Amino acid sequence: MSGKDEQPRSTIFDIDKTNNFPDWFGEICRVAELADIRYGVKGFTPFPPWSLMTMDNMFDILEEVLQRKDHLPMLFPTVIPESNLTKEAQHVEGFVPQVFWIQDTGEGGKLEERLALRPTSETAIYPMYSLWVRSWRDLPMKRYQRCSVFRSEIKSTRPFLRGREFLWIESHNVFATHDEVKAQVQEDLETTKEVVTDNFGIPVMVFRRTQWDKFPGGLNTYAADTLMPDGKVLQLPSTHDLGDNFARAFDVKFLNENNETVYAWQTCYGPAISRIFGAMISVHGDNKGLRLPFKIAPYQVVVIPIYKGKDAEMVLEYGKNILKNLRKAGFRVYIDNSDNTPGWKYNFWEMKGVPIRVEIGPRDIRDNKAVLFRRDTMKRESIDVKDLKREITNLGKEIDANLLAEAESKFVDLIIDADSIGTIEDALDKGKIARIPFCTTEMEGKPCADEIKDRTGGETRGTRIDIDEKPKGVCTVCGKPATEIVYIARSY
């Protein structure tokens, strides 16, 4: 796995994540071989095996949930003809500034029409949906694709969190009614919770975004935010009620049961796995490096044989046997039989975030024992080797539950009720999220949000939809009667 890092040089990782998060993030990407920023094109980074294998596991979990909820996979071209990209007016405004354009080919060739690298695929997919959807019998049509998308406008890039090319799944659904759209939005939010929180251990708060912060061309955007170690929030999956806007722009119509031709209703949902990976390592990592959840770690268990001289063969044999048995039981296991010292190996695989380490030496073998080390708490215990499978199964679950609990503890006392620009700023400076009564999240409220942004650096994340909140009093900024409660946070 590790290639050059198996060479005997120090691998002790030690950076204060909480107080020095940007350094921590950059260094762990480099040392754990997650992303290589030396590729030479701004915002485009190769993903070496350790991150790609983890993201593949994350994709698999997400795809299993989507398929279980009756979405079918499909795949559209990477390029979108300019005439399609520019069919929906608000969408043009939102996405055209982000586009990479292709016009030249080979040595001096020119395409008749410019092609955009997809920044998102509504304008690729919906012209085909207009051909595929014909009658109520075709609905609901729930489909998704797993692909890269490309956005040129991203200026300040960072691996995983802000890349010009990123990896995601985009789900595009068509329904007969607006009610079904609303139910799909709920389903998507539950999918987010099941995948991001229950499987990856990342707690989120869910907001309906303001009208000035919604998906270009849609009616409403619902998004999950998580909290990063530097106190800023990061948007994770968002799902969009597109109403019938895109159906009208792309002519997605169907014959209903009364034999009338009517426009369809649509949703789209875009979990960006590379970004969620960035959040996952940031939320769970500690000063010693990565801490990967058991469910998604490329190697869930690393076996370290410990021996000197004459014991070598016996210990190695014993280790390989454990490897074989654990693999047969379905675990992802690696044995590190390089010639580095056990101490070097401990540090290396701790930095890489492998959830469980099995240490075996001559004495363990004699006693039919093995030592289990868990990365999350850095604790070890000696167990009977016959219980290995069961213990690893249980420990894996325990580790994942513990990582989530630790992450959730950061949400305690996170929200501070503010009643002025000054108290908002105080809250944000402490790494907290401010909650305020607010005039409106319709477009008329934008000046108030702009003023908050200018004076505190905080962004208006919208209104909570996972809890029911009623405002009292007046808008903290303009003094008009408050109609909503909104949350203010600094963000990525």
Find the shortest distance in angstroms from Cβ 91 to a second copy: 14
Q: Which is nearer to a second copy, 153 or 384 (CB)?
A: 153
Find the shortest distance in angstroms from Cβ 195 to a second copy: 19
Selected from 11, 29, 126, 143, the binder of a second copy by CB under 8 A is: 143
Q: How far apart are CA 251 and CA 70, in angstroms?
A: 24
**What is the residue-wise DSSP string for 337-358?**
-SSS-HHHHHHHHHHHT-SEEE
Find the shortest distance in angstroms from Cβ 152 to a second copy: 4
Q: Which of residues 156-185 bind a second copy (CB under 8 A)?
A: 165, 167
Find the shortest distance in angstroms from Cβ 362 to a second copy: 27
Q: How far apart are CA 164 and CA 159, in angstroms?
A: 9
Q: Which is nearer to a second copy, 52 or 478 (CB)?
A: 52
Q: Which is nearer to a second copy, 24 or 254 (CB)?
A: 254
Long-range contacts of residues 9-18, Cβ cutoff 8 Å, at least 24 apart: 10/344, 10/347, 11/344, 11/347, 11/348, 11/351, 12/347, 12/351, 13/287, 13/288, 13/289, 13/347, 13/350, 13/351, 14/287, 14/288, 15/287, 16/287, 17/229, 17/285, 17/286, 17/287, 18/229
Binding of a second copy by 137 (CB under 8 A): yes
- 162 burial type by CB count under 10 A (0-12 exposed, 13-18 middle, 19+ buried): middle
Q: Which is nearer to a second copy, 162 or 193 (CB)?
A: 162
Selected from 47, 269, 277, 438, the binder of a second copy by CB under 8 A is: 47
Find the shortest distance in angstroms from Cβ 88 to a second copy: 16
Q: Which is nearer to a second copy, 184 or 220 (CB)?
A: 184
Find the shortest distance in angstroms from Cβ 314 to a second copy: 25
Binding of a second copy by 148 (CB under 8 A): yes
Q: Which of residues 314-353 bind a second copy (CB under 8 A)?
A: none
Q: Which of residues 22-41 bind a second copy (CB under 8 A)?
A: 36, 38-41
Given a contact cutoff of 8 angstroms between Cβ atoms, the answer to whether 276 and 293 are in contact is no
Binding of a second copy by 136 (CB under 8 A): no
Of residues 172, 175, 182, 194, the one with CA closest to residue 68: 194
Given a contact cutoff of 8 angstroms between Cβ atoms, the answer to whether 13 and 288 are in contact is yes
Tokens of 482: 């408050």
Q: Which of residues 68-127 bind a second copy (CB under 8 A)?
A: 72-79, 81, 84, 96-107, 109, 113-115, 117, 124-125, 127
Find the shortest distance in angstroms from Cβ 114 to a second copy: 8
Selected from 20, 31, 138, 389, the binder of a second copy by CB under 8 A is: 138
Q: How far apart are CA 132 and CA 254, in angstroms?
A: 10
Selected from 52, 401, 465, 474, the binder of a second copy by CB under 8 A is: 52
Find the shortest distance in angstroms from Cβ 247 to a second copy: 17
425 three-class SS? helix
Q: How far apart are CA 263 and CA 412, in angstroms?
A: 45
Given a contact cutoff of 8 angstroms between Cβ atoms, the answer to whether 136 and 254 are in contact is yes
Of residues 306, 406, 302, the one with CA closest to residue 358: 302
A 10 A CB-CB count for 395 gives 21
Find the shortest distance in angstroms from Cβ 129 to a second copy: 10
Q: Which is nearer to a second copy, 50 or 487 (CB)?
A: 50
Q: How far apart are CA 272 and CA 417, in angstroms?
A: 31
Residues in contact with a second copy by the rule CB under 8 A: 1, 3-4, 6-7, 36, 38-41, 44-49, 52-53, 56, 72-79, 81, 84, 96-107, 109, 113-115, 117, 124-125, 127-128, 131-135, 137-138, 141, 143, 148, 150, 152-153, 165, 167
